[in-house]
Amino acid sequence: MPTTEKRRRRHDDTPDTAGDFRRLAEMPDGPERDELRRTITCAWMPVAERLARRFRNRGESQEDLVQVACLGMVKAVARYDPDHGSAFESFAIPTVVGELKRHFRDHLWSVHVPRRVQELRNRTRSARVELLQELEGRGPTVSELAGHTGLSEDDVKTGMEAHDAYSTVSLDAPMPGLDDFSLGDTLGDSDPTMDLVVNREALKPLLAELPERELHILYLRFFKDLTQTQIANICGISQMHVSRLISRTCENLRTGLLADA
């Protein structure tokens, strides 16, 4: 009983047009028959809109999905034959859903490409299927595809490359022949040492302007990793003086870098 009530709520927008379909099947072609078909189609449009909502949030606008679903409903009304014994609902819903799925299959790309490139992809793909039959399974060359389609070889190559943009491969997909590695394992990662390279290159002209003593002290502290006391003994000055020189020099370098930026 709950299942029946759930089904009734799910399809509560389905109109009762069984009698209209029987009359439609018996009527001769003409304006009256066209008007009755139009009335039936309009009555079922809410169902088409409901089915279109099932496919929302998949990268396609709701308006386009409703348009595709309504077109599928028009086709269902035109093709339905009540003499087959099945209810129109059981015929219309698969027809509309199939139309929506076909739309996603044929028109939705994983990576956006210009319409012209999409057309090149479709033409080269169709030509390849036709030539595969003529060539008994051998893949056609670029020049053969160009001759078959009337396109230039550059356009054929563009169409073939666009085929890879139609569907993407997951980064978790295994590498061919390497089950322990995925496609994501082949991608590089950010290298924090690159920031050091940039900073060192930016510091070079500023370091070149330093007095020789300050430059020597920085070298001993940051490249030889000596303590301030050791540097003081080498330079013959106090440790406090070394500390002040390092602080002042680093502050000047920092100010110079920010000014350049």
Residue 238, domain CATH: 1.10.10.10
Residue 43, domain CATH: 1.10.1740.10
pLDDT at 131 over 50: yes
pLDDT at 80 over 60: yes
Are residues 127 and 100 both part of a single domain?
no
Last residue of a domain, one of 91, 107, 123: 107
Structural domain contains residue 141 = yes
Are residues 202 and 157 both part of a single domain?
no
d(CA 12, CA 90) in angstroms, rounded, equals: 14
d(CA 90, CA 78) in angstroms, rounded, equals: 15
Structural domain contains residue 155 = yes
At residue 121, the pLDDT reads 81
Residues 163/125, Cβ–Cβ less than 8 Å: yes
Structural domain contains residue 52 = yes
At residue 54, the pLDDT reads 87
Are residues 154 and 201 both part of a single domain?
no
Are residues 87 and 6 both part of a single domain?
yes
Range of the domain at 53: 2-107
Band of residue 7 on the pLDDT scale cut at 50, 70, 90: very low
d(CA 162, CA 122) in angstroms, rounded, equals: 9
Residues 47/73, Cβ–Cβ less than 8 Å: yes
d(CA 220, CA 107) in angstroms, rounded, equals: 66
Both tokens of 180, joined, read 């322990």
Last residue of a domain, one of 107, 123, 146: 107
Are residues 84 and 9 both part of a single domain?
yes
Residues 160/122, Cβ–Cβ less than 8 Å: no
The one-letter amino acid at 80: Y
The one-letter amino acid at 140: P
Structural domain contains residue 181 = no
Residues 124/142, Cβ–Cβ less than 8 Å: no
Both tokens of 145, joined, read 């595809």
| Per-residue three-class SS string for 144-189 | HHHHHHCCCHHHHHHHHHHHHHHCCCCCCCEECCEEEEEHHHHCCC
Structural domain contains residue 94 = yes
Structural domain contains residue 230 = yes
Strand partners, 111: none
At residue 200, the pLDDT reads 80
- pTM (2 decimals)? 0.41
Residues 242/235, Cβ–Cβ less than 8 Å: yes
Last residue of a domain, one of 72, 107, 142: 107
pLDDT at 233 over 60: yes
Residues 148/162, Cβ–Cβ less than 8 Å: no
At residue 168, the pLDDT reads 59
**pLDDT: which is higher, 198 or 105:** 198
Are residues 29 and 102 both part of a single domain?
yes
Are residues 162 and 227 both part of a single domain?
no
Distance of CA 10 to the CA centre of its chain: 33
Length of the chain counted residue by residue:
261
Are residues 166 and 201 both part of a single domain?
no
d(CA 55, CA 65) in angstroms, rounded, equals: 8
- The number of domains in the chain is 3
Percent of the chain residues past pLDDT 90, beyond the cut: 34
In this prediction, residues 58-68 reach a mean pLDDT of 81
Are residues 132 and 211 both part of a single domain?
no
The 3-state DSSP class for residue 11 equals: coil
